[in-house]
Structure 1
Amino acid sequence: MYSGGWKSFWTALWTTLLVLTPLVGGTVLLGGYQAQQRVRAAESQSGVPIAQPKAEDQMTLLVCVAGEKPGFVLVYLNADQNSLNLLALPGQLSVPFGEGEATLQTCYNSAGPARCLQALTEVLELPEGTRYLAIAPDTLSEICEPFGSLRVSFSGALTAQELETLGQSGAVQDWAPGPLHEFLAGLEENENIPPERQAAARAAVWDSFFRQKLEKLPAALPDALRSVSGSLLTDLTAGDYYILAETLEFLANQSAPVESSALPGLWEAESGYYTIDERSRAAVQAFFNVSPSAGQSESASAP
């Protein structure tokens, strides 16, 4: 009886396992498949790519808008940080040149964008691998034209009195690329507007462009730059254009916030030089998302 009881017990146990195991396994597999399908459906609906940002999906670019008094903007793109940062530089910024110093505008007009980048790297400790792109106003307008007009307000960049003097208001207005450049060029010629506010107005324009057109940029901007490459002064390579497109795509998919500002500093009207100070260094650290404590222990040249 005792032996027969144990034999019946084990027979019943194995019979139960043989019945339940396929059911449990099938339930687990079905649940896993459904979860996978939900993830794929969510990715398809959101448009978020499965790929993850790589270390090389970033770029620091000095953009120089040519002219008698050229304008300058630093652009920092970093997919891993989800950063799209803009820093407008006053053309009167003092940089080392020859045996002395010169304004950034003089440096550009005398020696070109490569020399400007070299000088800025000494002053602002830009990261190794920073690229430069110099573009004529007409070419810039040609590139921007397909994106349509921009809605821009200069109320945060210029004072109410300055806007009134320029025949403008602080309201948001629609601007076409050509008139917008003419407005910025006119600011550079106006000696009554301090360099930092001139740069702030340029930052407001670039901020509006990236905020309003970000979804279109990954596919359109690199191709537009390639199409006018013969009229550009740049050290961007074919690989850089690919990185630019891929980085912009990551940022667009993640709806990256656009952060823009003008480089603060000291304006000496008598000498005609705009010089950096502690506020300038803090602004550069913020531009590269480097905390003040980290900036003290390591160079901002390694964002």
Structure 2
Amino acid sequence: MRKSGAKAFWLSFFLTLAILLPLLGGLIFYSGWQGGQARQAEKSQSGVPLGGPGAETDLTVLVTVAAEQPGFVLVRLDAQNGVLHLCPVPAESVLLAPGGTMLLADSYSSAGPARAAALLAATLNIRIDKYLAVTPDTLGKLWGQLEPPRVNLTGLLDQEALAALGLEADPVLSLPPAEANAFITGLGLPPARAARVRAAVWDAALRQQLDNLADTIPAGLRKQSGSLLTDLTAADFYTLENTFRWLAKKQAEVQAEPVAGRYDQQAQRYEFGEDSIAFAKLRFVPATGETAEKPLYATPAPVSDPLGEGQQTASPSPQPTAAAGGGSAAPESQGSPQPTADARQTGGVPVPSAPGAGGMGQPSPAASPTPVGGTAEEEPGGPTATPTLPPQAAAPAGSLE
């Protein structure tokens, strides 16, 4: 009896182990799997998608610093390729408009940043997804507690200008974003050279704080939304956050350079040509369909001096290119028609009037067309070529038409 009892005990014991051990093993395996899922979920909630940056993380924005003398910068955040393009556009840039031509500053002061973005996109034949206008004070608030960018002015200013700023010994300047626009305009530089200084300031700001932009800029935009003039939505702020995180993760390359063009000192106009279209095509997403336009002026690639002291000039024997449509441009003195809607109906950023610039429907002091391939100063006795304008196509999304 005792032997049979012991045998039954051990048999039941081993049967119990045979049942419990697989259950315990399965429980341990399930606990480990759950822990891995939790870590993966925590990583996904950090703001960086697991799959990779999508098409929505390739965004081009026209940023306008709304001041007495506004500043314009085309910003392309390309998280897919890990590149951040910064291209200042001089306020004196000539844009194609339905009624003729007008300056970028005039289009902004007359109808706001939406109109300026639409005309600039049509002129350069690129896609501009969003627009954003901020005052210098608001720009400083967006920057938050981040360190001011340190800008090396070597090669941008001559020794006399550096000495006037007290920087002849050390040409590195710590420049808070709220003061940057006033500093640049206060230098009194020609437009092309001022645009290079602006490019250096923006390059230093975004390059030095690339790892902190995702936690600062989108949150600042949400907080200051009542002081912005923009078509960025709440969903776009989350897209910006993910885009900045991907750019930081990829250690994105920052490329800062003004949009190519030629400055006419006599007319005080910054003119785009074939080289400008080629420049924009390499750095931005080209427009598609019927939005493609030919440039206002067909000029060979300009040659600029290192400090931008003189205007950019073309080769001595340029040939004008006939624009599609064959129609002649309406004189700028006749103005451009008012848009059908007012871009200033939302947001709290005041839209200043550009000093000395006529608005839509107002005569502009710099209305005379410029000969292709040179300025009046370069060819005092040369004939003046009359440019032709292609027919206007539908403006990109976000315009006021």
Which deviates more from structure 2 when the two are superposed, residues 174-183 or residues 261-270?
Answer: 174-183
Distance 2:91 2:153 in 1: 19
Q: Indicate conservation of the 8 Å contact 2:60/2:284, yes or no.
A: no
Letter in 1 for 2:142: I
Unaligned runs of 5+ in 2: 1-35, 294-395, 397-401
Give the superposition deviation at 1:180. Answer: 2.9
State the distance in 2 between where 1:133 and 1:289 align. 18
Contact (CA 8 Å) 2:64, 2:73: kept in 1 or not? yes
Displacement of 1:181 in angstroms is: 3.2
Residue equivalent to 1:287: 283
Query: Does 2:136 match 1:137?
Result: yes
Identify if the C-alpha distance between structure 1 residues 237 and 156 changes in structure 2 by more than 3 Å, giving closer, same or farther: farther
CA drift at 1:161: 4.3
Q: Does the alignment pair 1:271 with 2:267?
A: yes
Counterpart of 2:255 in structure 1: which amino acid?
E
Aligned counterpart in structure 1 of residue 224 of structure 2, from 204, 228, 231: 228
Distance in 2 (CA, whole Å) between partners of 1:233 and 1:49 is: 29
Contact kept? 1:97, 1:107, Cα under 8 Å = no
Give 2:362's aligned residue.
Answer: none
CA contact 1:58–1:244 (8 Å) conserved in 2: no
**C-alpha contact (below 8 Å) 1:95/1:120 kept by paired residues:** yes
Output the amino acid matched with 1:178: A
Cα RMSD after superposing both structures: 2.9
Q: What is the TM-score with the length of structure 1 in the denominator?
A: 0.74
- The one-letter amino acid paired with 1:72 is F
User: Which residue does the alignment assign to 1:103?
Assistant: 103
C-alpha contact 1:150 1:208 (8 A) present in aligned 2: yes
Distance 1:101 1:168 in 2: 41
Count of aligned residue pairs for this structure pair: 249
CA distance, structure 1, for counterparts of residue 99 and residue 64 of structure 2: 24
- CA distance in 1 between counterparts of 2:134 and 2:113 reads 10
1:3 alignment counterpart: none
1:46-85 superposed matches below 5 A: 50-85=50-85
Post-superposition shift, 1:142?
1.7
The aligned amino acid for 1:180 is: A
Q: Give the TM-score normalised by structure 2.
A: 0.57
User: What is the CA distance between 1:178 and its match in structure 2?
Assistant: 3.5
Alignment-mate amino acid for residue 62 of structure 2: L
Tell me how far 1:98 sits from its aligned partner: 5.8
Amino acid at match of 2:59: M
Q: Quote the sequence identity (%).
A: 38
The residue correspondences of 1:132-211 to structure 2 (distance < 5 A) are 132-164=131-163, 168-169=167-168, 171-187=171-187, 190=188, 193-211=189-207
For residues 98 and 166 of structure 1, what CA distance do their matches in structure 2 show? Answer: 44
Q: Which amino acid aligns with 1:120?
A: L
| CA distance in 2 between partners of 1:78 and 1:258 (Å) | 10
Deviation at 1:163?
3.7
For structure 1, list consecutive stretches of 5 or more residues without a partner in the other structure.
Answer: 1-36
Distance 2:166 2:281 in 1: 36
Identify if the C-alpha distance between structure 1 residues 121 and 289 changes in structure 2 by more than 3 Å, giving closer, same or farther: closer
State the shift of 1:167 in Å.
5.1
Tell me the equivalent position of 2:120: 120
Tell me the secondary structure at the aligned position of residue 157 of structure 2: coil
